[in-house]
Amino acid sequence: MKWFKITSLTFLLLTAVYIFAVSHFPPHLSSPLSVKNDYLSQFQQAVHLSGLPISNLIVRDFIQQIEFKTNGTLVFLSADKSPYQQVSYLHQLLTLAKIKHANLTRVDLSVRHPYATLQTH
C-alpha cells in the first residue's frame, strides 16, 4: 500500500512537471521559408523592384537563409530580416563597389554582423 502511494505520487508529480514544461517551453519549430511570412514572394518582389539580375538561387530552410549570385557576387540573405531592406543594402554595396572600381566577391547579410568581401583591381 505504501509503495502504491509513493508510485502514484511520483507519477502525478512527473506528469505535472511534463505538462508545465510543454506548456511553458514549446519546442522551436523551423518553418520553411515559403510559409514564413510569405518571405519568398517578398524577396522576389524586392529583387524585381531593384532590377538586380539573380542566378543560382538556393533556399536553405534549415538555417533560414537564401543564397544566390548577382553580377558575379555570391550573396547570403537571412529569412529573419526584411528582404526589402537586405536587397536595398545589397544594391547600395554594389553601387559603392562600382564607384570605387572594385568587385564584390561575397556579401553576407545573414549574420548579426554583416560583411562584404571587396576585391580591387
pLDDT digits (tens, 9 = 90+) for 7-19: 877 877 778 777 7
Q: Is residue 21 part of a domain?
A: no
Q: Which residues of the chain have pLDDT under 70?
A: 21-37, 121
Q: How many CB atoms lie within 10 A of CB 9?
A: 10
Determine, yes or no, domain membership for 111. Answer: yes
Q: Could you give the C-alpha distances from 77 to 22, 27, 115, in angstroms and in order?
A: 33, 25, 11
87: domain CATH number is 3.40.50.11690
Strand partners for 117: 106
Note the pLDDT of residue 26: 55
What is the pLDDT at residue 31? 53
- With respect to residue 64, please indicate whether it lies within any of the assigned structural domains: yes
Whether the CB-CB separation of 79 and 39 falls below 8 Å is answered with yes
- Element at 110 (helix H, strand E): none
Please give the model's pTM, rounded to 2 decimal places.
Answer: 0.67
Pairwise CA distance, residues 31 & 37, whole Å: 10
Is residue 88 in some structural domain? yes
Q: Residue 29's pLDDT is what?
A: 47
